[in-house]
Amino acid sequence: MPVTIAYARAIDGIHAPLVTIETHLANGLPAFQIVGLPEAAVRESRDRVRAAIQTSGFEFPRRRITVNLAPADLPKDGGRFDLGIALGILAASQQIPAAALARHEFLGELGLDGTLRPVGGTLAAGLAAADAERALVVNPEDGAEAALASRARVLTGSHLSAVCAALAGHEALVPAQPPEPSAPAHPDLADVRGQHQARRALEIAAAGGHHLLMVGPPGSGKSMLAARIPGILPPMDEAEALETAAIHSLRGSSHLRQDWRARPFRSPHHTASGVALVGGGSTPRPGEISLAHQGVLFLDELTEFSRSVLDVLREPLESGVIHISRAARQAEFPARFQLVGAMNPCPQGFDCDLAERCECTPEQRARHRKRLSAPLLDRIDLAIEVPRIPPGDLAGSADASEDSASVAKRVARARKVQRERQNGLNSALDGSALDRYAVLGTADRELLDKAAERFRLSARAYHRILRVARSIADLNDAKAIATQHLTEALSYRALDHWRTQ
């Protein structure tokens, strides 16, 4: 009896490696064996597949059945291989044409009645199937997700019998249609009263993709400002949007954002664990930093997070990826996010207004600040103080504040300049690129050197000042960094004086 071949896709990070399902029927005592490093859920598919075939009106072969999931060294988990296994058995027993399997890839978990159920993570599978020039067959719910890949041919069926009928040429499967992206409703910057320096810092951070930390007493508007960052960021291009959507699809199709073309905004609670932030599990899944990929990760009450939890952010803040290693599985997820943090200046609470009313002792303030490690603070581009808003500003008219649309135009223009000049944002400039695009005059270089010596800045902080200055110059349509751009960048280093205290 010849071996029949069907194709499916596993999950490896955000990638979907090909899995070849080889099925062989042999004489001997009836048996059903699955090999090729299957995990428990895959081994259990024997019972699901047997029941689904029988309840769908087909005959389950009373032969010795061997199913091999190749490559054998790639772990396989979940019920995503059920459909491919069932079709391989039916083709091997000549109940459906085997030739039709070669033009398709199959993903889906089978119910005992033959119902095809969603498995999630099908967007990456759709992209990979398109590269292989094969159609992807999935459940209708998964089909909408996979169809986000416009170059993929995605077909949907809700039952094993419907898929078999289509392979036999009796009835065509329904092509999947991608969901229409909804327009995100972001809060507007026009709602913010006062806080002119904070608004300016927000614009600079958005223009260059810089990390931002806001320090101020409760009620000064830090969270309100952070929530308005997505409204001034430009939408993602198709490649960025598909990569971000592929990350979210690993959590299931129901987690795919309706506004999947807009940049994500994630705001985990301060009780979140390190695994919740970076991802993990026996089968690695993305955490908050990957779900915020190409968008914003907002950490409110930053000093309430465990220091060990915050320190896991240090590597992805630099590299833009996170590597997760477990005993049996390793995975790599993109994590190029923009960090925005908010914290109180001291543990006192509402009475602290960053001025003479603070009654905390120096020891209390020092303990409060030491919740943030120096290496983490070193990776923050802009740190600003957000003071309490005077009552007179609160009573002002909203018409006096610039809206998000106006700021977004300047941000988009600055980002366009950066991409045309260096094919990336200023936050990603490395040493050689800084030497080329962030050139300072002699006097400005001396000024920056004196500031670095005064505040004991590291080389990383030194370079981050240059990147911020380059973003300020881009917002001002300046070809070169001028003194006013550098001095403004230095003014956004509110926490550097902690080094000298």
Indicate whether 184 belongs to any domain.
no
- With both helix axes pointing from N to C terminus, report the angle between 238-249 and 122-131 in degrees, rounded to the nearest 10: 130
Residue of 186, 117, 113, 123 lying closest to 150 (CA atoms): 123
Residue range of the domain that includes 251 = 189-500
If asked whether residues 267 and 324 sit together in one domain, one would say: yes
Indicate whether 233 belongs to any domain.
yes
If asked whether residues 355 and 488 sit together in one domain, one would say: yes
| Tokens, residue 193 | 């009263």
493 forms beta bridges with 383
Last residue of a domain, one of 175, 204, 224: 175
If asked whether residues 198 and 103 sit together in one domain, one would say: no
If asked whether residues 40 and 150 sit together in one domain, one would say: yes
If asked whether residues 134 and 259 sit together in one domain, one would say: no
If asked whether residues 275 and 351 sit together in one domain, one would say: yes
Indicate whether 288 belongs to any domain.
yes
Q: Are 22 and 67 in contact (CB under 8 A)?
A: yes
The whole-number pLDDT of residue 254 equals: 55
If asked whether residues 306 and 423 sit together in one domain, one would say: yes
**Distance separating alpha carbons of residues 158 and 171, to the nearest angstrom:** 13
CATH at 439: 3.40.50.300
If asked whether residues 338 and 423 sit together in one domain, one would say: yes
If asked whether residues 17 and 83 sit together in one domain, one would say: yes
CA angle 280, 284, 289 (to 5 degrees): 55
Tally of residues, the chain: 501
Last residue of a domain, one of 175, 198, 224: 175
pLDDT along the chain (501 residues), means of 10: 90 91 94 90 91 96 94 89 96 94 96 94 92 95 88 94 94 89 80 87 96 89 92 90 88 66 91 90 87 95 91 91 82 94 79 62 79 89 87 62 90 96 92 90 93 88 94 95 95 68 50
**Distance separating alpha carbons of residues 68 and 106, to the nearest angstrom:** 15
pTM tops 0.75, yes or no: yes
If asked whether residues 161 and 242 sit together in one domain, one would say: no
State the number of CA atoms in the 13 A half-sphere of 320 facing the CB: 7
Number of domains in the chain: 2
If asked whether residues 213 and 103 sit together in one domain, one would say: no
Indicate whether 180 belongs to any domain.
no
Last residue of a domain, one of 175, 201, 233: 175
If asked whether residues 161 and 212 sit together in one domain, one would say: no
Indicate whether 197 belongs to any domain.
yes
Order of all β-strands in the sheet with 31-35? 4-9, 18-26, 64-70, 31-35
Indicate whether 280 belongs to any domain.
yes
The whole-number pLDDT of residue 133 equals: 94
Indicate whether 487 belongs to any domain.
yes
CATH at 93: 3.30.230.10
Indicate whether 387 belongs to any domain.
yes
